[in-house]
Amino acid sequence: MWRIVGWLVVPFLHLLFRWRRLSGPARIFGMIWTIGIAIIIISTVQTMPQDTGGTVGTPTSDQYDVKLVFPADRYPETADHIQDAIAKGESPICTIDRSESDTHRDASLAGIPTKKGYDRDEWPMAMCAEGGSGADIRYVTPSDNRGAGSWIGGQLNDYADGTRVWIVIDNTEASNEIGSDLDATARAVASSASNSGASKAADAAVGTDNNAAAGSGTKSNASSGSNTSGTTSSSNENESTTKANPSVETNVASDVASNHTSSTQTEIVYKNCTDVRAAGAAPLHKGDPGYSKKLDRDGDGVACE
């Protein structure tokens, strides 16, 4: 070891302290030696992995199955925690693993003291395979934390364990490449139903006007025909506008929309406390999404303690 150090250091010492005494060839050799060592050091530094500050890049299409847009305006504290945790290097992907949620929660919260008036929010969540020991923990107000847990649990209720969910905040990330934007799907289904209902109502109104005009002569019929034409044109324009401005990303499958319409439009209901804990929403307080008296067996206003 010391011989290697000597071979590296001694030539430089000779160059510094004995430059005037060195012959021409020795000086040339010393300069070549110095340049060679400098090149080796520079190339080594360039090949070393760079510190990116722990940030995680946008997942590629083969790294997730579904994209879920989290509403930061409804649960700002939890949204801020998710963003900060991902910026520190935590995974933005949640691989659903409900069967191990209790184990993950115990591991992630071990050694983290409770704080009066706050919940301990973990990211990745306990229901994720990425969760557990080493998760990022933050104190969050109970209403924000439990509401967020219930919302995510309800959105992912129909997805099986093993599904990889990319969770983004307020749709600020890149557009989805595969899977489904759950919020966008729900909006598209609701918009489609609204447009369909409006079109049927317009057709019914036109039919009523035509029947009334039939008993008042040719002039009324002509007027009715004009109204019918105008209404039909307006209906066609509405349909054209709807097709030209789809609110669902082009690669969203129709069966995904049908599967999630009911879960998005209905109230969150848990069958039992096992489902509540799997969704990361336990305990439920009276007034929280998913709370019911059948879960609150002792009637103290707190279910699934």
Residue 29 dihedral angles phi and psi, to the nearest 5°: -60, -40
What whole-number distance in Å separates Cα of residue 186 and Cα of residue 175? 17
Give the per-residue pLDDT at 290: 80
Q: Closest Cα to residue 112, out of 140, 146, 145?
A: 140
Under 8 Å between Cβ of 214 and 274: no
Token pair listed for 59: 């997942």
Per-residue pLDDT band for 274 (boundaries 50, 70, 90) equals: confident
Which tens digit of pLDDT belongs to each residue from 204-228? 444 444 444 444 444 444 344 444 4
Instruction: Say what the pLDDT of residue 261 is.
Output: 42
Closest CA to 280 of 161, 147, 89, 134: 147
Per-residue pLDDT band at 104 (split at 50, 70, 90): very high
